[in-house]
Amino acid sequence: MPKRSLERMLRERAAALRRHILTMASNNQNIHLGGSMSIADMMAALFFHFLDIEGLRGPRDHFILSKGHAVHAFHACLAEMGKVDPEEFRSLATLGSRLAGHPSPKAPLVEVCTGSLGHGLSVGIGIALAEKIEGSPARTVVLMGDGELQEGSVWEAALSAPRFGLENLLAIVDRNGWQATGKVDDILPLDPLKEKWRSFRWNVLVVDGHDMKAILRALSRFPAASGPTVIIANTVKGKGVPAVENTGRAHFTTLSDEEIQAALARLEV
């Protein structure tokens, strides 16, 4: 597919993911809206271009949503892939539903149940190491939040990955600047973040996490010649919802019907 056509298709997918997330918001009183909306562009690029998550072209790739509270973006991908009926969104986070408030093994394609932050990268390293030992070309992608990087376990894992030469491991940091109780920089600043990862011997790419062309360019540079890669994606919490964009309210919120309609109208532009 020509690059421009691919970019256009993925932007349309990202818009569709955001519409699905807004549908979930209309059916459920509270959802983790902000972090789900901020990763929609990256998720579109991963699930509808980069990853072979079902092994249709060979050994299947692995995806771990370490920031498990952003599961609504994952559920939206499942709907776009035809793995779940959007009608199931009505059962979101209810007893017995496949679509829980964090990744559940009841849902299709969930490889790791996450939610307790700071563990996804360690699990991803184990999977990537096993695939390397087996000589498999399968890739492992771990998507984390920036507030999650305040967990010491993340840095223990980050220190380990280069030791094992895991060229097949890609970490992605959704750097939307907010966590549950406030701004990341006000609670525990991460800078210099790029330099931190580099000092741990990772290949580091920094992108605008809402620029599909930039996202695709970064993904095309993986794997690097040696060692694991991390993409730091600068994003906006609640992207696409004017009422809550780049605010703490976006983290876990209820939207009014008017706010939902305003967001849907923007997506149609």
Rounded CA-CA distance 5/8 in Å is: 5
The predicted pLDDT at position 269 comes to 54
Contact 82, 109 (CB under 8 A): no
Phi/psi for 153 (5° steps) reads -65, -30
Evaluate the CA torsion angle 117, 69, 57, 4 in order and state its sign.
Answer: negative
The predicted pLDDT at position 2 comes to 75
pLDDT digits (tens, 9 = 90+) for 186-231: 999 999 999 999 999 999 999 999 999 999 999 999 999 999 999 9
The predicted pLDDT at position 250 comes to 96
The predicted pLDDT at position 3 comes to 75
Residues of the chain scoring pLDDT < 70: 28, 269
SS3 annotation, 143-198: EEECHHHHCHHHHHHHHHHHHHCCCCEEEEEEECCEECCEEHHHHCCCCCHHHHHH
Residue type, 72: H
Measured in residues, the chain has a length of 269
The predicted pLDDT at position 229 comes to 99
Name residues whose C-beta falls within 8 Å of residue 91's C-beta, 6 or more positions apart in sequence.
Answer: 97, 98, 99
The predicted pLDDT at position 15 comes to 98
Q: Give the number of domains in the chain.
A: 1
Rounded CA-CA distance 265/191 in Å is: 36
Give me the CATH number covering residue 43: 3.40.50.970
What residue numbers bound the domain in which 62 lies?
A: 3-267
pTM for the structure as a whole: 0.97
The predicted pLDDT at position 30 comes to 87
Partners of 171 in beta bridges: 142, 230
CB crowding 134-158: b at 16 or more within 10 Å, else e: eeeebbbbbbbbbbbbbbeebbebb
